[in-house]
Structure 1
Amino acid sequence: MSSENNPQPIRELVLNVFATNGRLVDSGNKLVHGIGLTTAWWQVLGALGYSPVPLPVAHIARNMGLTRQAVQRVVELLAERGFVTLEPNPHHQRAKLVVITRHGRAALTAAESAAAAVDRMALERIGADRVAIASAVLAELREVLVQVLGLPPDSNLAGNSQGKDEE
């Protein structure tokens, strides 16, 4: 059997992604605990902080591979603490836009500063070219999952971020 027909490398990749995700969550919690965040809160703030426009909960969830209900709960907690606000969405009456506040942006900056040493070490060890390849491979794998399983596609953060038919 040719290597292209052997699913084992994909199984190994998936298992490594699962294991790495667990480590990312644990290390993220450790890194941002002193800032008053959790990994989940950091993840949502990051989705908002890197988006050129405010996003509804459904878009954040889709972009981050999370359930809408989980993101809704995190957004509610972030709003209670002043990290985000909810504003009217001109494209959808019920799907409010989640907007990162100055306080939220400061927390995101602090989280990224807390992770900077780990980021630098990983980049030195792995190399920018290999990181770019890994990122591209994971993006392609997501596209395959969308296509084969009929999952909703990732939102285009720069373009389709406030569609009328969302949420």
Structure 2
Amino acid sequence: MSEDHSQKDFDAWATEYRQYYKKSSRADFEFRFSRMLILASRRWTAYIDEAVQQETGHTRARWQTLFAIAFADEPVATLDLSERMGVQWPTLIRSLNDLETEGLIKRKMNPDDKRSRLVTITPKGRKALMQVKKVLDPLRQNALQQFTKEELATAENLLERLLLTVRQL
């Protein structure tokens, strides 16, 4: 199955596109940008998910949770963790339950809020995280080496602004 994702391929098969979007209009650029954003995101996610799971056995939900916990300098409240990761509460709780069962994290009651739990990563969790990092870092470097640091910073800024806008909708 071919992947018709390039602009040239899109123009070849989307023969009726101009009935909906005028060439070089703002709407044309917005559609094309959002289309490529979605396609790149889907492909990138599938690429890293497959590689990481094949090498380490960890799903994206698990390793992203481990990273989010490890990057904090102190125990993280479950609600804060959910917000930082942009995931729904039930999804996060399932991941945390699995990670705790395997000894990769610890949860304890929050002394400031008895309804909340604080989450920390264990040494075993850090070891698992380093296994994931050893797979992810070279994948990321290979995919992004064609871009300058300035281009990466610009793209990050653009995506951050988009994310902030979408959160406010």
1:76 lines up with 2:100 in the alignment = no
Q: Cα offset for 1:7? A: 4.2
Q: Cα offset for 1:6? A: 2.6
Q: Is the 8 A contact 2:109 2:117 kept in 1?
A: yes
How many Å separate the matches in 2 of 1:60 and 1:76?
Answer: 14
How many Å separate the matches in 1 of 2:36 and 2:79?
Answer: 27
Letter in 1 for 2:52: V
Q: Is the 8 A contact 1:31 1:114 kept in 2?
A: yes
Aligned to 1:153: none
How many Å separate the matches in 2 of 1:28 and 1:55?
Answer: 26
Letter in 2 for 1:97: L
> How many pairs are equivalent?
146
1:21 lines up with 2:71 in the alignment = no
How many Å separate the matches in 2 of 1:138 and 1:116?
Answer: 20
Q: Is the 8 A contact 1:45 1:100 kept in 2?
A: yes
Q: How does 1:119-134 map to 2 (within 5 A)?
A: 119-134=140-155
SS of alignment partner, residue 126 of structure 1: coil
SS of alignment partner, residue 146 of structure 2: helix
Aligned to 1:159: none
Report the TM-score when normalising by structure 2.
0.75
Q: Is the 8 A contact 1:28 1:38 kept in 2?
A: no
Q: 1:6/1:47 Cα in 2 relative to 1: closer, same or farther (>3 Å)?
A: same
Q: How does 1:6-155 map to 2 (within 5 A)?
A: 6-33=26-53, 34-147=55-168, 149=169
How many Å separate the matches in 1 of 2:130 and 2:98?
Answer: 19
Tell me the alpha carbon deviations over residues 138-165 of structure 1, each in whole angstroms, 9 at most, x when there is no partner: 1111222233x2xxxxxxxxxxxxxxxx
Report the TM-score when normalising by structure 1.
0.76
Tell me the alpha carbon deviations over residues 50-96 of structure 1, each in whole angstroms, 9 at most, x when there is no partner: 12222222222222221111111111111111111102213321210
How many Å separate the matches in 2 of 1:92 and 1:24?
Answer: 38
SS of alignment partner, residue 87 of structure 2: coil
Identical amino acids, percent of aligned pairs:
24
Letter in 1 for 2:57: G
Q: 1:15/1:64 Cα in 2 relative to 1: closer, same or farther (>3 Å)?
A: farther
Residue segments in structure 1 that go unaligned for 5+ positions in a row: 150-167
Larger radius of gyration: 2
* CA-based RMSD: 2.2
Bigger mean CA deviation after superposition, 93-102 or 50-59: 50-59
